[in-house]
Amino acid sequence: MQKNTDLSQIEMRNSYTRLLNLIPGAVFRSEISERKHAFSKNYGVCLKFVSDGMYKLIDVTPDTLDHGVNLVDSLILPEDRDVVREKIYTSFVEDRPYQMVYRMRLPSGTIKWIWEQGEVVCGESGELLFLEGIMMDLSEYKAIENSLKEEKSMSALSCRTANGFGLMVGTSDPMQALYSQLEKAAQSSSNVLILGETGTGKELCAQTIHELSGRKGAFVPVNCGAIPEQLIESEFFGHVRGAFTGAVGNRDGFIKAAHEGTLFLDEIGELPLHLQVKLLRTLESKQFTPVGSNTPQRSTFRLIAATHQNLASMVKSKTMRSDFFYRINVLTVKIPPLRDRRGDLDLLIEAYLNANNTAGQVPQHVRAAMEQHSWPGNIREMHNFLERFFMFGDASIEGFDCDGCEAFFPDTDTPLEESVKAFEYRLIVQAMEKCRWRQGEAAKLLGLNLRTFQRKIKYHNLSK
């Protein structure tokens, strides 16, 4: 009877071994040479059992892998080995399993990425028995991950053009700083808050971040100030049939539509307090419940919010919840107003003419007036002005806050020579400011050779 029991146990062990050998990875058991009171980060182990997957994983033959030594530990890259030992030691101290990713250099010289999960096994009296777990080869996945990162980086580089970044136009220093912020924001999955005055192009920035991030889902823009308050919850979370009068069928909301994509909330300061509470819960759990339903749904969207308001002041005045503000204000992107990037004006005018197939030109005296204007409405105001100019001409300039424009609109009694001198002076100043007072670039911009340009600078007594 005892003999039959022994045979049964042997068959069971063989069955388990066959099963472990089928796992697409390596199962191992190592004996720990130390006792519990002496266990440290420099513990010693020797292999007692490995599944067949180990030989394929580390590219050795069974006779090469002596179960009495720990060849596996010696293959771990030196810069990763201390981290591995720290993880295992912490796992023992906290009495919980561990998980980690590290690199190995195989005997052939190949580097492999390894995912390992395991635990330290102790006996009933607390003595250390084994270190056992499973190892998987992550090298292919790491190669794909690196490839995706490279593609994302190349995508960002391809967005940069001679005149701007993607659909955005401008080469000034403030815009270069903005482009760098957008690239960094695209590499993260954190919430983004875009700050900028009205008409600066906040939605365009949000769309650029979405496209560079490579998210699979859609870009869903929402103007928070344009939704009636009685419908706002349904618009965001959706509703089921019969949830309220007029709900004749199920309808998805913005959050469901943005699954695996980007939800862009423009003018987020307009959201009522009660919706901030519900949206905060959704941002934390990525779960929401449609109006009239009891079944939670999941949406892994990324939030990008935008506003021209001072949200910190709104928190102080209790018109915005502080917890909601801190949840959306993780990464901050600031868009410069048009008055801080006047050097981009010519590029913006050219982009407008091309986008609208406008054959006309903007005369120099109009450009001068545009340069002096403060543009409180930013790009949107500039586009409206250009449309008005091509319809009504110089009358469109009336009302511009263009101090100093009189040099371009001399009185009829002013001699021609003085008018030309004033006009030339202003052109040179504009060119120098645009080229950051680099004379060679300014001369080239005006179509002059450097010697002639320097002579004119001296004639006008110009200095930075």
Pick 96 or 406 by higher pLDDT: 96
Q: How high is the pLDDT of residue 408?
A: 46
Strand order in the sheet with 168-169: 160-161, 164-165, 168-169
Q: How far apart are CA 312 and CA 329, in angstroms?
A: 10
Q: Phi-psi region for residue 23, left (φ > 0), alpha (ψ -120 to 50) or beta? A: beta
In 138-225, which ranges are continuous DSSP H helix? 139-159, 173-186, 202-213
Q: What is the average per-residue pLDDT within 252-260? A: 94
Q: Is the pLDDT of residue 369 over 60?
A: yes
Q: What is the pLDDT of residues 371-390, one digit of tens each?
A: 888 899 999 999 999 998 88
Q: Is the pLDDT of residue 214 over 80?
A: yes
Q: How high is the pLDDT of residue 9?
A: 62
Residue 386, SS3 per DSSP = helix
Q: How high is the pLDDT of residue 405?
A: 47
Q: How far apart are CA 173 and CA 114, in angstroms?
A: 44
Please report which confidence band the pLDDT of residue 460 belongs to, taking 50, 70 and 90 as the band edges.
confident
Q: Is the pLDDT of residue 38 over 70?
A: no
Pick 57 or 47 by higher pLDDT: 57
Q: What is the average per-residue pLDDT within 75-85? A: 88
Q: How high is the pLDDT of residue 114?
A: 92
Q: How far is CA 228 from the centre of its chain?
A: 31
First to last CA, the chain: 105
Q: What is the pLDDT of residues 124-134, one digit of tens each?
A: 777 778 889 99
Q: What is the pLDDT of residues 290-346, one digit of tens each?
A: 999 988 999 999 999 999 999 999 999 999 999 999 999 999 999 999 999 988 999
Give burial (CB, 10 Å; 0-12/13-18/19+) of 42: exposed
Q: How high is the pLDDT of residue 44?
A: 66
Q: How high is the pLDDT of residue 36?
A: 46
Contact between residue 250 and residue 241 where contact means Cβ atoms under 8 Å apart: yes
Q: Where are the beta strands (DSSP E) in 308-417?
A: 331-334
> What's the CA angle centered on 420, arms 416 and 423, to 5 degrees?
140
Q: What is the average per-residue pLDDT within 223-244? A: 88
Q: What is the average per-residue pLDDT within 236-264? A: 90
Q: Is the pLDDT of residue 280 over 70?
A: yes
